[in-house]
Structure 1
Amino acid sequence: MNQLDGGGGGGPSGGPPSLATAPAKKKAAANTIENELEPDTAKAAKVADAATTAAVGGFEGWATAAGLKTVETTWDSQVKTLLARLASEKTALRSTALTFGQQELDNRARLAGVRPTSRIEQY
């Protein structure tokens, strides 16, 4: 760590590093989270809740019922955390795609305004 790297850069095939983004892929990933992962996770949570509630009723008066209720509370908390994380990732993917797209447009506009000087312009 206390030396220069051996050269070759950090990009693909030892070339120079590059920053590449794929807004369409980010949008597709965000859509997958929204249309598949979030609904399926919420649906699975409801199925588990229903089964656990039925089991708690079946063990009424036993210590097992209290244990199952604790498990259900923990499960619900974990599902909420997971859904919040999925929502956060979805938002980040969409935001990143927009930010990179806007940055690309800004760079193009700036470069379009820069003209190389030529000796022919002196005449």
Structure 2
Amino acid sequence: MGFDEDWAGLRSGTTAQDPVGTRLNQLDGGGGGGGGGASGGAPNLATAPAKKKAAANTIENELEPDTAKAAKWADAATTAAVGGFEGWATAAGLKTVETTWDNQVKNLLARLASEKTALRGAALSFGQQEIDTRARIAGVRPTSRIEQY
């Protein structure tokens, strides 16, 4: 028997079977399944704009300045070490390390600034959405015949 005959036999055998489908015997024990929120009820969205603002302020007032301070301290120490090893291959290696470090610090500071901006933007966006929703709800009034007079 050749391939074509085998293939034709397999195809004819599958058409006689029940249609293929997926069946779940149970939901995932870890809360998966998509049927509801974390508590098993209806899905909900909770946000805390004040906490987002506080996190953004922490980035701005603590993390960014402390990171920049640590970077300057490391640069000073590396520059001193490069001077101490002048003329040695170690000095060139330390210069490469310093360049890599500076690039990583720039990337970290850019990432912190991006996160700070995103947190503030999210807090503002959710707050504005709340105001818009309240305004729309307040604008919906039941119609009454009394308003015709």
**Aligned Cα RMSD in Å?**
2.1
Unaligned runs of 5+ in 1: none
Equivalenced residues, count: 119
The correspondence for 1:94, drawn from 114, 117, 120, is 120
CA 1:116–1:11: 2 relative to 1, 3 Å: farther
Runs of 4+ in structure 1 displaced over 2 angstroms?
2-10
| Cα distance between partner residues in 2 of 1:3 and 1:22 | 39
Map 1:1-123 → 2, pairs under 5 A: 6=27, 9-116=35-142, 121=144
| Cα distance between partner residues in 2 of 1:18 and 1:122 | 37
CA 1:102–1:57: 2 relative to 1, 3 Å: same
Q: Is the 8 A contact 1:8 1:16 kept in 2?
A: no
Larger radius of gyration: 2
Cα deviations by residue, 1:28-52 (Å, 9 ceiling, x for unpaired): 0000000000000000000100000
| Superposed displacement of residue 98, structure 1 | 0.6
Structure with the bigger percentage of helix: 1
| TM-score normalized by the length of structure 2 | 0.73
Identity %: 84
Cα deviations by residue, 1:47-102 (Å, 9 ceiling, x for unpaired): 10000000000000000000000000000000000000000000110011011101
Aligned partner of residue 39 in structure 2, secondary structure: helix
| TM-score normalized by the length of structure 1 | 0.88
Unaligned runs of 5+ in 2: 1-21, 28-32
